[in-house]
Structure 1
């Protein structure tokens, strides 16, 4: 009689052990909802190839749009820097009651667009890369304009804007912040106003790196008082 509880306890542990083994076997052999065995889970070589192919196609579609977006951002930043340089020279001329000039160039070594703001009577002392303070990289951009001399717009009607910008071209403000004399805002055609003095920043053409694409930004000095405006694309031609 005293062995009965011990036998029942032994039976209980044996039954529990058997159920545990059955449960473990079930879990090891059970199927996922999609019908594939747990041991066979993963991707086949064909599936990986298809995924990589799709990623490549999407990247090829998106890349030109992304490059275009980056180019437009760079052109906008450099154009803003051109405007800031002109406004700075005009402000210095007014504050110091002296003539100040702004010159631009494309550095032949670094290929960066550079600017110099200086007292006209002293001349250029240093050139500064244009747009670096706002994170712009101008070495892949073209610098152009319609200036043929100091405050003189090119009077050629068929192609007034040229690349690169004439090395002797500069814009000069007198002690009141107005344009110094002599000056010329370009040829006036019937029913239009003078084109003004243009400094143009452009993305190079994919076919020819020395010619501008349709993506352009520019600053135009429109009046004798030195009024400026920004323009884009066909307005900068």
Structure 2
């Protein structure tokens, strides 16, 4: 019995020595090199993903703002039809807050209050540029049909008559001169764009716009090069 016990004890000790020899225990945790490699990999992935993410966020912002421009124009047109009065919508950039603002009002009553564009849909309009190709209400700039930045409130007014169309009197609307190779007038454009850099007044290629195309007040949305 004693011999058997000694043999079992000897076998157990040998197995233990073998396990420790081929599977030595190590301290838990990571080495400094492993940590540095992980940090380096995170930095590389961030550098690759960041531009795409910022581009996505910018597109979302201009899409929201442009939806708000379209909704404001539709609201002014609807109010004109409903009340049988001339209604106008104007846009501007607040010189203090840098927010793009909008106001809808009876043309005879005049402007009362301004509202931050797209605030109800989460658009950060203070990060966007407001542009237009108008020189006055319903009139494309006669010397240049291209969009200019920044736009003032006096050059971003679009007015609808009591039928929701563009009034032809006393001054008929001007949709601008066709820009080759197109044979169609550019239309009345209200544009929101991402600036090329922070605090810049020059737009990047990311643009969205609403274009009033006809005397009946037909509106379409466009993007990027179509908003130039």
TM-score (norm. length: structure 1): 0.84
SS of 1:38 mapped into structure 2: coil
Match of 1:61 among 43, 48, 63: 48
Matched, 1:142 2:129: yes
Distance 1:98-1:31 versus aligned 2 partners, 3 A rule: farther
Does 1:202 find its partner at 2:189?
no
* Number of equivalenced pairs: 223
CA distance, structure 2, for counterparts of residue 75 and residue 189 of structure 1: 25
Give the C-alpha shift of residue 22 in structure 1: 5.8
Aligned equivalent of 2:205: 214
Who is 2:220 aligned against? 229
Please state how far the C-alpha of 1:134 moved relative to its aligned partner: 0.8
Choose the corresponding residue for 1:99, options 62, 65, 86. 86
Distance 1:189 1:50 in 2: 55
C-alpha distance in 1 between matches for 2:225 and 2:21: 68
1:4 corresponds to: none
In the other structure, the counterpart of 2:116 is 129
- Helix, strand or coil at the partner of 1:148: strand
Which residue pairs with 1:78 in the alignment?
65
CA shift for structure 1 position 40: 2.8
> What displacement does 1:156 show?
2.6
Unaligned runs of 5+ in 2: none
Structure with greater contact order relative to length (CA < 8 Å, sep ≥ 6): 2
Contact 1:31 / 1:38 at 8 angstroms: preserved in 2?
Answer: no
Q: RMSD between aligned alpha carbons?
A: 2.8
Counterpart of 2:158 in structure 1 is: 171
Looking at structure 2, the residues matched to 189 and 201 of structure 1 have their Cα atoms a distance apart, in angstroms, of 21
1:167 offset after TM fit, Å? 2.5
Q: Greater Rg, structure 1 or structure 2?
A: 1
Structure 1 stretches of 5 or more lacking a match? Answer: 1-7
